[in-house]
Structure 1
């Protein structure tokens, strides 16, 4: 098993970000977490990582409903920088939305590998972070 080292959380809920950080700490994993309050901040941060040749996230946990730039807008904008990435970054939608239309819309984005409802269970998070070689 290989563990993911770089995680990106895009969510305007500070409490949720805190819970994700605590959950990852509970899994006793060595990792770095970049947290952003909206899609625009995340896009700027990831672009800076690329420009400065820093490690980019190996997984993104993305909320849908956020101010300034929501999750859907982020996904569209993210496509413009994907060619600059060393490899495709899997994206998990993590949202409190249980709307069927959101789940259907997520299927239109091949970058999205999972749609999880808040709160995410520790076991689910562990299975994402500990990936197969």
Structure 2
């Protein structure tokens, strides 16, 4: 399994963030984390990283339901940033709404839609 260099978690739930980081550490999933509590903060920081040609996260775990900017607002703006470096996005949410699942499929950057909580097995699939 290939270890991820930087994993980015965009989620406003501190319990989910804590638990996900813990599982990632136990799985030896990644070297480091970036954590944002809303889509707008994540967008602004990731846009600056892209513009300055700094190291981007290899993987983004994106929640849909957050304050300020939700996951959809983040995605709609993030895909507008010119970037030729690969970033894999997984939507990790509590939403089981079929409309959300379908909408996620319309974004090329979204690799999968996973309903919380995330498991060790799902993390291992991401590392392949």
Once residues 125 and 29 of structure 1 are traced to their aligned partners in structure 2, the CA distance between those partners, rounded to angstroms, is 8
**Structure 1 unaligned regions, length at least 5:** none
Tell me which residue corresponds to 1:31.
Answer: 31
Tell me which residue corresponds to 1:97.
Answer: 95
Map of 1:1-133 to 2, 5 A cutoff? 1-81=1-81, 83=82, 85-128=83-126, 130-131=127-128
**Structure 2 unaligned regions, length at least 5:** none
SS of 1:113's equivalent in the other structure is strand
Deviation string 1:79-122 (CA, Å, 9 cap, x unpaired) is 121x2x34231110000010111101111111111000100111
Once residues 79 and 63 of structure 1 are traced to their aligned partners in structure 2, the CA distance between those partners, rounded to angstroms, is 16
Could you tell me the TM-score, scaled by structure 1's length?
Answer: 0.89
CA RMSD of aligned residues (A): 1.3
Query: Conserved in 1, the CA contact under 8 Å of 2:11 and 2:38?
Result: yes
Once residues 66 and 36 of structure 1 are traced to their aligned partners in structure 2, the CA distance between those partners, rounded to angstroms, is 10
In the alignment of these two chains, the number of paired residues is: 128
Once residues 3 and 13 of structure 1 are traced to their aligned partners in structure 2, the CA distance between those partners, rounded to angstroms, is 25
Could you tell me the TM-score, scaled by structure 2's length?
Answer: 0.93
